[in-house]
Structure 1
């Protein structure tokens, strides 16, 4: 009887853990449905969603060996590249919130899982903030860097050719580096459709 109770308890715990894991599923396993029109905010949102989908699969299933891979002596490791993308995703989110970009002097040392989760959530929030917004709203968003008493301001155009494009560029580097370290990305990922072939 005690064994039955014990195994029932374990089964309940495992089931509860699976339910919690499903509730905490990360965004961008698939790209969301596209908006109904080509409003400015929808186009920016879709660019961020495309980035999120690519990043999700570029970082899915990375091993410690992949994370420590360094293509050359002076180059970034995969985990350093992931850290950089996280920093860029923070800038995208802060700008879309209308906040100034302030870099902390001593950034916390996050684990890979934490960086991946925070990056994907930053991108999802940033996308949600601009979807459906018209040109006038997007034009009011400015990139403002703040460092001490110094600030520098740029139009939102720089977000598109800057942070968003930079994230896409570095996500491609992760795909290349993981292939070089012996763990290629899932070949069933279809970036054109934003889905995986099951």
Structure 2
């Protein structure tokens, strides 16, 4: 009996390790690499690719950030990096809600998420938003309207404003994160190649 225990223990340990590994694979965040590009330049594919490019940049801009990085602010009046990440998350919510055909309700207080939660939610928002417009034609995109609601007031904008608005704004702020983490002494992985959407080995 005493010889069976180590074998049984090793078997249980192996099963647990396999389960943890599978869970880790399932929980892997999107945009470590940019997805393969679509087969054509349909309007939805172009917008989807813009969101994918943003997702890839955001993934690596936020990979390995420390508490020091998150607290960094360029000036006393400037936003801290964590505040900028919260703003990017809110923008990603607006992109996703519009792509779902939902109304963006404003104002909303800042979300109370940890950095890890915020990063995961933002990346998943971007991936879902990209998937929703992938393969859509121009007529379908024209049907997507940005709708803001604040109290009883509602305002609507064409999807064009999504491109020069929220998507471009997210790219802009992601660049700020890259700059701020460099200033706080923790630069982004130098092997990231945003042109190819991969990291050099």
- TM-score normalised according to structure 1 size: 0.94
In the TM superposition, residue 147 of structure 1 has moved relative to its aligned partner by: 1.1
Alignment of 1:43-192 (within 5 A): 43-103=46-106, 105-192=108-195
Is there any run of 5+ residues in structure 1 with no aligned partner, and where? none
Max radius of gyration: which structure? Answer: 2
Query: Which 4+ residue blocks in structure 1 deviate beyond 6 angstroms?
Result: none
C-alpha distance in structure 2 between counterparts of 1:6 and 1:110, whole Å: 38
Partner-residue secondary structure (3-state), 1:152: strand
Partner-residue secondary structure (3-state), 2:44: helix
Alignment partner, residue 35 of structure 2: 32
In the TM superposition, residue 10 of structure 1 has moved relative to its aligned partner by: 4.2
C-alpha distance in structure 2 between counterparts of 1:105 and 1:153, whole Å: 18
22, 25, 33: which one aligns with 1:19: 22
Task: Give CA deviations for 1:22-51 in whole Å, capped at 9, x if unaligned.
Answer: 111111011011111111101100000000
C-alpha distance in structure 1 between counterparts of 2:111 and 2:147, whole Å: 22
Partner-residue secondary structure (3-state), 2:154: strand
For the aligned residue pairs, the C-alpha RMSD in angstroms reads 1.6
In the TM superposition, residue 106 of structure 1 has moved relative to its aligned partner by: 3.9
C-alpha distance in structure 2 between counterparts of 1:181 and 1:7, whole Å: 45
C-alpha distance in structure 1 between counterparts of 2:111 and 2:184, whole Å: 27
C-alpha distance in structure 2 between counterparts of 1:163 and 1:68, whole Å: 24
In the TM superposition, residue 105 of structure 1 has moved relative to its aligned partner by: 3.8
Q: How many residues align?
A: 198
